[in-house]
Amino acid sequence: MKKSKKMLIIGKVWPEPNSSAAGSRMMELIDIFQQDSYKITFASAASDSEFAIDLNSIGVHKSSICMNNSSFNKFIRDLQPDVVMFDRFMTEEQFGWRVAEECPDAVRILDTEDLHCLRSARQHAWKSGQNFTPEMLPDEEVAKREIASIYRCDLSLIISEFEIELLQNQFKIPENLLYYLPFLMDDVPSKSAVSFDERSDFVSIGNFLHEPNWNAVLWLKEEIWPLIRKELPSAKLNIYGAYPSQKVHQLHNPKEGFLVHGWAESAEEVISKARVLLAPLRFGAGLKGKLADAMRFGTPSVTTTIGAEGIAEPKKWPGAVADDAVEFAKCAVDLHENREKWKTSQQTGFKLLKQNFDKAKFADNFLNRVADLHENLQNQRKKNFTGSMLMHHYQQGTKYMSKWIEEKNKH
């Protein structure tokens, strides 16, 4: 029987697997570590959420923590975890120096979710009417913060091979600090229980707190959907997503077949009813959970080059890839109406999942990497002088700023 190890996950938010790809991703990571006999504590300074999973029900201890408060030092000192995983670089910025101070021998892992600097640079490029190039990345303030966080950690989980190459080529980050770990799926299906004839209409899904999703819905409303409706006058587009604001609900228009529903209790149910999923993402980063879900539920999709990034080349996409509104609408109509193309796309999706995201291909190698890192931690850190240097200066600056805020809050 394996000896149990202790792991602390510091979350930016509490996991919401039914609301976002980030929530689903976190549950995949928790599952992997639990299978390797880790006892997991999930801590966050975020407020409770009605959509958050009941962590206690899956054997994960839940702890609320405070930012800029020395109570965290006592908390982690008492816990003494073997591994600490930061959920996105912002939590490492806030709590990393305290972890290093109280538990210097704990392996520090950064789960990037996606590269925030890449998403930010692409968004700025789109808004200014420019074509994004990697040379724009160093100009982003968030890039300086995110790259520093990667260097300070012992291992950073990168969800997309495109982002691995970007980090190595653009920022010259050593290979041993990065680990490619995409979506991890058990029991990848080979067929769908819902046939072409049992499905109808279109679906779009995505958390509205995520700017690329809101932007995609606007593009659908303003340009793409009118073109689709012109060809399919009775078609409907069902839009789902957690945290819709008033401006999102204002787009609801039954006469146009543009239906805003808000949060979906079951992504599988709403995606499986649709014949085609639409994801016209104009900026973003990482892997898109909605597109992986569409493949898993047997629903072909139409997306953009950015949407397909890290999953498959456009020519091999399970549906179609288009970056122009007219072409996007044309592909959507064709996929909705062409039974044979639809079936071929569906099978392509199942094959892609098995090839790229089968959990069995990744889990053991990843756990072995973490175990090896734990055994040789000091050797790796000696080789990472840049990380040590950044940790030294970051500790001095962040530590005393945090202590100042704590004292200020007392009064």
pLDDT digits (tens, 9 = 90+) for 338-379: 999 999 999 999 999 999 999 999 999 999 999 999 999 999
pLDDT, position 2 = 55
pLDDT at 396: 66
Q: 151-155, 284-288, 368-372, 402-406: which range is least confident on average?
A: 402-406
pLDDT bin (cut points 50, 70, 90) of residue 147 is: very high
Say yes or no to pLDDT of 1 above 50. Answer: no
Q: What pLDDT was estimated at residue 398?
A: 67
Q: Quick one: average pLDDT of 126-134?
A: 92
Contacts of 233 (CB under 8 A, 6+ apart): none
The percentage of residues in the chain with a pLDDT greater than 90, rounded to a whole number, is: 81
Residue 374: how many other CB atoms lie within 10 Å: 15
Q: Give mean pLDDT, residues 118-124.
A: 94
Largest CA distance in the chain: 69
pLDDT score of 400: 64
CA angle 222, 269, 198 (to 5 degrees): 85
Query: HSE on the CB side for 153, CA within 13 Å?
Result: 33
Residue % of the chain over a pLDDT of 70: 96
pLDDT of amino acid 293: 94
Strands (DSSP E) found in 184-236: 202-205
∠ CA 72-77-83, nearest 5°, is: 95
Mean pLDDT across the stretch 8-14?
96
Q: Considering the chain, what is the average pLDDT of its residues?
A: 92
Strand ranges across the sheet with 237-240? 258-262, 237-240, 202-205, 276-279, 301-303, 319-321
- Is the pLDDT at 3 greater than 70? The verdict is no
d(CA 180, CA 156): 9
Whole-number pLDDT of residue 308: 96
Mean pLDDT within 40-48: 95
Question: If pLDDT is split at 50, 70 and 90, which confidence band does 236 have?
Answer: very high
* Confidence (pLDDT) at 193: 83
Phi, psi of 282 (to 5 degrees): -95, -15
Structure confidence at residue 94 (pLDDT): 93
Q: Could you tell me the pLDDT band of residue 404, with boundaries at 50, 70 and 90? A: low
Sequence length of the chain is 411
Q: How confident is the model at residue 265 (pLDDT cuts 50, 70, 90)?
A: confident
Would you put residue 179 in left (φ > 0), alpha (ψ -120 to 50) or beta?
A: beta
Per-residue H/E/C for 36-97: CCEEEEEEECCCCCCCCCCHHHHCCEEEECCCCCCHHHHHHHHHCCCEEEEECHHHHHHHHH
